[in-house]
Every structure is written in C-alpha cells, then in structure tokens.
Structure 1
Amino acid sequence: MLGVFGVEARTEAVYRAMLEHPTADLATIAGDVGASVEQVRAELDLLADLMLVEVVAGARPFQAIPPEQAIAVLVAREEERLAERQRQVTEARADMGDLVQSFVRSRTLQGPDGLVEEIDDPRVVTSRLYQLTQAARERVSFMLPGDALPPGAIEPSARLDDELLERGIPLRVIVTDASLEAPHWRGHLARQVTRGVQARSHPAPPHRIVIVDGTVAILPRDDSSGALVVHGPDLVAPTAALFDAIWQAAIPLVPDTVGAADGEFSDARVRQVVALLAQGQKDEAIARRLNVSVRTVRRLVSAALSALHAESRFEAGVLAVKRGWVA
C-alpha cells in the first residue's frame, strides 16, 4: 500500500510488523520480515526519515506512529513534491518559448520587410504554428482539406485545441465531408465540438490554411511540404475572405449529427438541412452531404418547413437567417 509513496516493500514490512507487534524486539521483527537485525536497523532509519516511527524512551528506540497519521505524513510529503514538480514544469514551459524561437529562427527565411516568412521543413511549420497559436488573442481558424488526420495526430491536435479553448480563444475548423467517413476522426470532432470548437464540413476545401487573429496566416507552398507565413491585415485579408466564403458554404457539425444515422430528426439535423436549403442545394445534393437517403432529406425538409412555419423552401431560408440558424 505504501509503495505508491515510494516506500520499498521491506521498509513497509518492518513498519507493519511494528504495528502488529508493538513490544517485539529487533530480532523478532527481523524474523517476521525475513531480514537480519542489521537490515531491520537500516529500515528503521529509513522509517525515521519518513517520520513513520518516532523515538520513545525505554529499551526500544522506535515506535510506529498510527497508520492514519502515517498516511497523512506521506500524503503531505507527496503533495509537497508534486507542487515542486509543477513549479519546475511551469518554469520549463516558460523556457520552451525561447527554445522554440531559436529553432524556428534558424530555419526560417524572412523577407526584409518582415511580412512573409518562408519555411521548407514541415517540423518547423509545426513549431511556428505553436508559436502563433500561443500568441493568439482573438480567434484561430483552420481549413483542413483532404483525408482525416491519422489516429497518431489526433492527440496533438486535441491538445492544441484545448489550450486555445482554455484561454477563451474561439476556434473554427473546416474539414472535408469525405474525412467524416473515418470513425476516429468523426468521433474526435464530435468530442471537440462538445468542448467548444466550431466545426463545419465542406465537399472540397481548396487549401490548408491557418489564420490567427486575422493578422497572420499560414499557407501551403506549392513546391514543397513547407509553408509561407504572411503578416498584416492587408496580406491576410484575401485568405480570410476565402475562409469565410468556405465557412458560409459549409454545414455545421454538432455532436448529435456527426455520423448520425439515416432518419434521425434532431433539431441540429433539421438546422443542417435548413443551412443547405439556404445555399440553394437540391435534395440529391443534400442527401450526399448528410450521407442519408433522398427520401429522408425530403422528410427533413418537411420537418424544417414545419419548424419554421414556412410555406416554401425560399421562405424557410429567409426565416432561418432571421432566427440566426444560418448566416
């Protein structure tokens, strides 16, 4: 039991023997634990250091303290050790910024005006992304074309998301419709949405993009696996406009509709249909986007019209905008 506090098995055995036989001498305790008298003396010294035995007057120099007091002493010692470790980790995290800065600076080519950075190494791109998101103050937006992230990349992605959310930074993510076919990715997105991430899916997002506070953007390079980092509202504005256009055309992901089965009629599913109706999508296209049958789409459209008290699809779109269901 005391092993969780770093107490060795023989040391605990001596302590237990002293509890069970308070009047036993060293030879008796040694026989109980299968050790020599000298070994028991050494264990008593360790127990004294741990404050699990106390010195008493008389023939026996040590007496075991009651178990509840022993646990309290060990817990207090462990809490003190953990607090010190946490302090060290906090200091290391603060120092990490300087290390990342050295790593990135030596591997980044920056123009004389400081508006564009060129990065060739994808590892450096990751470190630069860490720097930029750590400095975020308003909002971070990601556009992720292509397939789902592999399972091994999920944890780092979730950690980055959580760090931003803990600081109160809104986070938007656009993924491809096709990527949601991967259960691990679909489940990850569903969990992140419950934590506050705003996620939407689109048939074909055009580029991998990260935008930080509307003033910095990370863009892919056509001729390498690196990236360009552009600075300043003027340079970032076209990329932000592209992101916003794709965002408006994408459909929201919510926990009860990510991977929802055919025929589910939750409010969130109905709102997804309304968002697509407002884009002018036909039933067949909506069915493909939501991975349901056309028949189900028509029933969902009927439910949407009823929920909005609308007489036509056009009116449903207008009312949905007024209610804030869609932008």
Structure 2
Amino acid sequence: MLDALGLDESDTDVYRSVLERSSASADEIAAELGYTLPRVRSIFAKLEKLGLLARQGAESARVVASPPAMALRPLLLEHERGLTRAHEALAELSDAYRRTTDQRTAADVVDVVIGDDAVRQRFAQLQAAAEREVRALVLSDVALLTAEENVEEERALMRGVRYRVIVESAVLERPGFLQGARESAPVGEEIRVLATLPTRMVIADDTLALLPMRAQGEHGFGALLIHPSGLLDLVMAIFEEYWRAATQFLAPPETSTSAEVDRDLLKLLLLGLTDAAAAAQLGISVRTVQRRIAELMSRANVTTRIQLGAEAVRRSWV
C-alpha cells in the first residue's frame, strides 16, 4: 500500500500494528505478525529512520507510532517532488533524443543488443514504457522468459495497455495456456493463432520494435532494437498482415459452462491440437474429450471430425 514511499508490505504491517497500540515492543509485534525477532528489529530501525516510529524513552525497548498525517506527509511530498524532477528530466531527455533522432543516419535506425540479460532488459523496458499497445509474435519454443516470468505484461495490462499477440499453434499445448488466455482476455489481451511464424517480434506503441538477431532454431541470443523509420513501418505492416491472416483463439464465452467447454474443445481441435493436448488445456481426461467429440458429431449429424469442423463453423459453434 505504501510501496511508492519505499515501504514494502512487511514495513506497512509493522507500522500498522504499532499504530493500533499505545506502544509496542519488538517481541510483541513479532508474536502478532509471525515474523522473526531480528526481522522486526530491522523494520523498527528502518521506520525510526523515516520518522514513522519513535522510542518511548531514550533507553526503552518500546516504540510508539508517529501520527500518519505528520509522519507520512513529508515522505509523500518528497516523493511528489522527486516525481516532478523526474518528469522534468524526462522531458529534457526526450527533447534531446528527438533532436538526435532527427539527425539519425541509416546506421542509427537499429541498435544492436547483445546478451541474454540485455535482451531481457530491453524486452521489459518496451512493455513498461508502452502507453497504448504492445504487439507480439510468439514462437513455440521459449526463448528468454516464460509467460509467468514476464511480470511487465501483467503490469501493462493493469494500467490499460492493449496486447495483440499472435502465437504458433504449438504454443497452445503449453500447460495452463488456455486458462491464462481466458484470464487475460477481459483486461485487454487478444490472442490469435497461426501454424508457424518466421520470428519473434515485440512492438511497443508505434515507437520501437525488438527482433532477434538470429534465425529460428539457432543458439545464442542478441536482438535488434528498431527506432522510428521506414524499417519500423515495414515491421508493423508485416505484423498487421499476420494479424489479419491469423485465427482468433478465444471468442466471447457462452453462458453455459458445458457450452463453453465444447466451444473451447472445438477451437483447439480446429487449431490442430491432439486429443491429449486439448484434454490437458481443458483440465479433463482424454476419454472425456473423445466422448464430447462423439456427442458433438451426433448433434451435427456427421461421421468424421473433418465434417464436424466444417459443421461447427457453419453453425457458429466456434
């Protein structure tokens, strides 16, 4: 809650616990919160330094909480002043960057990023700086980060950045992919699928793009950071062409849970997943998948899965 002021959750919990007492010792707070005594003493020292706690007496082991309005307001004002200075510096640096951009030569259009850590950093920075939209191509093999490790994506979605992502069909077989896609869809992530893609790609707004230096399947990692230019325009146009050709992964869910499972099952099968892979994504058994397919074939009055796919599209089941 107070992380913007440099206080983590543990600091806030300790301050709140002391605040709710007339005074407190480290032993009492440790027992209440389930923290170790050294940890509480360390937090006491930090909060004392910030003026949030004070010793009850010069030699006392007990502390009292300073009034929040008196103790936190100076921290908040200093934080706001720091943000103002940072915004002023950002504006100044952005002006300098724009002046430099206007003078870029052809060689300056692309920055070469070498090394896994450096590429991870640029990847995170692109998402953290995005204001409107992130576009991405995702290959079946994991390069540098798993979806779970990409924390900047969740943060961007939470602040209203739209994500448009095209994945290779093999990505759909990753455990939990369907559930993750279903959870992220309401907050602004749209996923489409193609059988294969030529490369990875990340585009932040219309300002920067990150592409791997090496071709698919080669080892080692570096990346090209592409600045505004005709080359960036070309990269964005290529993404949009793939987007138009790709298949929508998740349509709006039905109200019926059973209907939703059938819709997702048909979608996964149409995208080429095996019965086993579809079962893993849906959290049901292979036998259940096969039984539901048989029921759908009976409803559609067809005898083959190819006919079922065609009939499902015709009847708008997917």
The two structures have a TM-score, normalised by structure 1, of: 0.52
Q: Structure 1 227/148 Cα, relative in aligned 2: closer, same or farther at 3 Å?
A: closer
Q: Which among 132, 137, 142 is matched to residue 137 of structure 1?
A: 132
| Equivalent-residue separation in structure 2 for 1:89 and 1:266 (angstroms) | 54
| Equivalent-residue separation in structure 1 for 2:112 and 2:160 (angstroms) | 29
Percent of aligned pairs with the same residue? 20
Paired amino acid for 2:119: V
Q: Give the SS at the match of 1:76.
A: helix
> Does the alignment pair 1:287 with 2:280?
no
Deviation at 1:210, TM superposition (A): 1.3
Q: Give the SS at the match of 1:167.
A: coil
Residue 221 of structure 2 corresponds to which residue in structure 1?
Answer: 225
> Does the alignment pair 1:80 with 2:76?
no
For structure 2, the 5+ residue unaligned runs are: 1-17, 20-43, 98-103, 303-307
| Equivalent-residue separation in structure 1 for 2:182 and 2:91 (angstroms) | 31
Q: How does 1:105-144 map to 2 (within 5 A)?
A: 112=106, 115-129=109-123, 130-131=125-126, 134-144=129-139
Greater relative contact order, per chain length (Cα 8 Å cut-off, separation 6+): 2
Q: Give the SS at the match of 2:210.
A: strand
| Equivalent-residue separation in structure 1 for 2:92 and 2:210 (angstroms) | 21
Conserved 8 A contact 2:134-2:204: yes
Q: Structure 1 240/193 Cα, relative in aligned 2: closer, same or farther at 3 Å?
A: same
- Computed over aligned residues only, the root mean square deviation of the Cα atoms, in angstroms, reads 5.0
Residue 312 of structure 2 corresponds to which residue in structure 1?
Answer: 316
When the two structures are aligned, how many residues end up with a matched partner? Answer: 243
For structure 1, the 5+ residue unaligned runs are: 15-29, 35-42, 48-70, 104-109, 256-264
Q: How does 1:1-327 map to 2 (within 5 A)?
A: 1-2=18-19, 6-11=52-57, 74-88=67-81, 90-91=83-84, 94=87, 95=89, 112=106, 115-129=109-123, 130-131=125-126, 134-147=129-142, 154=148, 157-172=150-165, 174=167, 176-177=170-171, 180-181=174-175, 192=184, 195-199=187-191, 207-213=199-205, 216-222=208-214, 224-230=220-226, 231-242=231-242, 245=245, 247-248=246-247, 251-252=249-250, 266-279=258-271, 281=272, 285-291=274-280, 294-302=286-294, 304=296, 310-312=300-302, 313=308, 314-320=310-316, 325=318
Paired amino acid for 1:90: L
Q: Structure 1 147/303 Cα, relative in aligned 2: closer, same or farther at 3 Å?
A: farther
| Equivalent-residue separation in structure 2 for 1:116 and 1:316 (angstroms) | 46
Conserved 8 A contact 2:199-2:212: yes
| Equivalent-residue separation in structure 2 for 1:141 and 1:294 (angstroms) | 32
Deviation at 1:220, TM superposition (A): 1.0
| Equivalent-residue separation in structure 1 for 2:207 and 2:301 (angstroms) | 44
Conserved 8 A contact 1:133-1:164: no
Q: Mark the structure with the bigger radius of gyration.
A: 1
Deviation at 1:177, TM superposition (A): 3.9
Paired amino acid for 1:174: V
Conserved 8 A contact 2:137-2:197: no
Conserved 8 A contact 1:201-1:253: no
| Equivalent-residue separation in structure 2 for 1:220 and 1:149 (angstroms) | 11
The two structures have a TM-score, normalised by structure 2, of: 0.53
